[in-house]
């Protein structure tokens, strides 16, 4: 989902000490308990954290302090702090979780609750595992966009001139996903040719992805990138006017996407590793995973079913959508070149904003 500059839906999301309740525990909290466990997270899971973390805090007697930003941004922050880590746990999207792994930011930890995560959806050494499964999507404001775009070419129509935005691929997982999907469907050169044409309709880019949902709902833009979980959650629980959509490569073709999961990992040499491990165990527990469908996510564990009305909404949303596999090792090999190419060929010398929080 992807995603500091991406806060949405009227929620204050700069620094979220979710568990004020822990401060009220008083004498009940162990006197020697650490002050806090710090979670760096890509945006999109705020409602899940709000639901499940108070119980963890009460049980452990610690606060969980949350810093929310774009997927690449949380990894960048952890990297800057590498010699003196400030966070204990990180949740981010691929390929940035792989960036964290390759950069030596993650401490391998084989949580007992990783056993029901598919092999393809976790690192063999325990550096990370899929926490919440998800799909890349685009989104529109259905109150404004009456003729829903069906293909990538549709976004080049004059109707969308100055009304398109997507997040910076250098800092947001969902932004990099725009490049991943277009190169997968079109080939690299044609994809960048397409993105150059699309740039003529782009209003700006954002550091993270989540704030785009607010801008869609305000009718400041008409089309944006996103991810299915975040967009459905913002529409249902954030009161925003938006609808996730999937695009086809060609007219008459199948709408196409790929899995874009939230992955979780333990920060190497974090200040509170013991509680960090407990937080990972808790977030991967059956109890928490069973609440993932409530926020339109897909449990990372295969032994927890996608159920309930929101689970059904996810199934309905992806019905008829073609899923393509992504070779994340190949993405990692290409990511730096793609980012440079996007900055030089696509955004170029346009002067457009890349760090939008609240557009001018």
Domain ranges of the chain: 15-134+260-314, 136-257+317-347
- Which range is least confidently modeled, 23-27, 33-37, 113-117, 190-194? 23-27
Decide if pLDDT at 62 tops 50: yes
Section 119-140 average pLDDT: 96
Q: What is the pLDDT of residue 187?
A: 97
Residue-averaged pLDDT of the chain: 88
Q: Given CATH 3.30.379.10, say whether it is the number of domain 15-134+260-314.
A: no
pLDDT recorded at residue 358: 56
Top CATH class of 136-257+317-347 equals alpha beta
Whole-number pLDDT of residue 172 = 86
Sign, CA torsion 166/68/227/338: positive
Instruction: Let me know: does 242 contact 235? Beta carbons within 8 Å.
Output: yes
Choose the weakest-confidence range: 81-90, 246-255, 343-352. Answer: 343-352
Counts of helices then strands in the chain (DSSP H, E): 12, 14
CB-based burial label for 264 (10 Å; 0-12, 13-18, 19+) = buried
Q: How far is CA 126 from the centre of its chain?
A: 20
Residue 40 to residue 111: CA distance in whole angstroms: 19
Residue 16 host element (H or E): strand 15-17
Find the mean pLDDT for residues 301-316: 96
Q: 246-249 contacts: CB < 8 A, separation 24 or more?
A: 246/137, 246/138, 246/318, 246/321, 247/138, 247/149, 247/150, 247/151, 247/152, 247/154, 247/155, 248/150, 248/151, 248/152, 249/151, 249/152, 249/185, 249/186
What pTM does this model have? 0.82
Percentage of the residues of the chain whose pLDDT score is greater than 70? 89
pLDDT tens for each residue of 68-98: 998 889 999 999 999 999 999 999 999 999 9
Distance CA(297)–CA(49), nearest Å, equals 13
**Would you place residue 351 in the very low, low, confident or very high pLDDT band (cuts 50, 70, 90)?**
confident
pLDDT bucket at 357, cuts 50 / 70 / 90: low
Hey, do 15-134+260-314 and 136-257+317-347 end up sharing a CATH topology, with the first three levels equal?
Answer: yes
The answer to whether the beta carbons of residues 66 and 19 sit under 8 Å apart is: no
- Asked if 175 and 168 count as a contact pair (C-beta separation under 8 A), the reply is yes
Report pLDDT for 137. 97
pLDDT at 21: 30
Decide if pLDDT at 20 tops 50.
no
Greater model confidence, 338 or 352: 338
**pLDDT on residue 35:** 78
Per residue in 49-61, pLDDT (tens digit) is: 999 999 999 999 9
């Amino acid at each position: 989902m992807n995603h500091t500059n991406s806060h949405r839906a009227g929620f204050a999301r700069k620094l979220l000490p979710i568990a004020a309740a822990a401060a009220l525990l008083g004498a009940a909290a162990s006197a020697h308990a650490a002050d806090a466990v710090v979670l760096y997270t890509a945006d999109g899971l705020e409602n899940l954290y709000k639901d499940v973390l108070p119980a963890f805090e009460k049980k452990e007697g610690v606060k969980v302090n949350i810093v929310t930003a774009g997927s690449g941004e949380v990894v960048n922050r952890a990297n800057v702090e590498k010699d003196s880590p400030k966070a204990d746990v990180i949740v981010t999207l691929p390929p940035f979780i792989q960036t964290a792994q390759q950069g030596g930011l993650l401490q391998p930890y084989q949580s007992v609750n990783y056993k029901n995560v598919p092999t393809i959806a976790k690192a063999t050494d325990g550096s990370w595992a899929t926490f919440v499964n998800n799909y890349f999507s685009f989104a529109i404001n259905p109150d404004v966009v009456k003729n829903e775009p069906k293909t990538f070419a549709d976004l080049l129509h004059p109707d969308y001139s100055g009304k398109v935005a997507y997040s910076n691929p250098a800092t947001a997982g969902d932004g990099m996903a725009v490049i991943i999907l277009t190169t997968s469907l079109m080939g690299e050169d044609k994809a960048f040719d397409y993105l150059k044409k699309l740039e003529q309709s782009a209003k700006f880019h954002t550091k993270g992805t989540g704030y785009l949902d607010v801008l869609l709902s305000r009718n400041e833009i008409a089309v944006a990138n996103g991810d299915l979980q975040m967009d459905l959650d913002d529409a249902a629980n954030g009161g925003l006017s938006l609808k996730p959509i999937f695009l086809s490569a060609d007219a008459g073709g199948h709408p196409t996407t790929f899995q874009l999961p939230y992955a979780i990992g333990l920060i190497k040499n974090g200040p509170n590793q013991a509680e960090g491990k407990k937080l990972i165990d808790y977030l991967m527990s059956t109890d928490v995973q069973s609440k993932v469908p409530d926020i339109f996510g897909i449990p990372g564990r295969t032994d927890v079913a996608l159920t309930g009305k929101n689970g059904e909404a996810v199934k309905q949303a992806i019905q008829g959508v073609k899923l393509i596999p992504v070779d994340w090792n190949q993405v990692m090999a290409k990511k730096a070149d793609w980012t440079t190419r996007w900055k030089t060929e696509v955004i170029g010398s346009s002067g457009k904003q890349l760090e939008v929080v609240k557009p001018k």
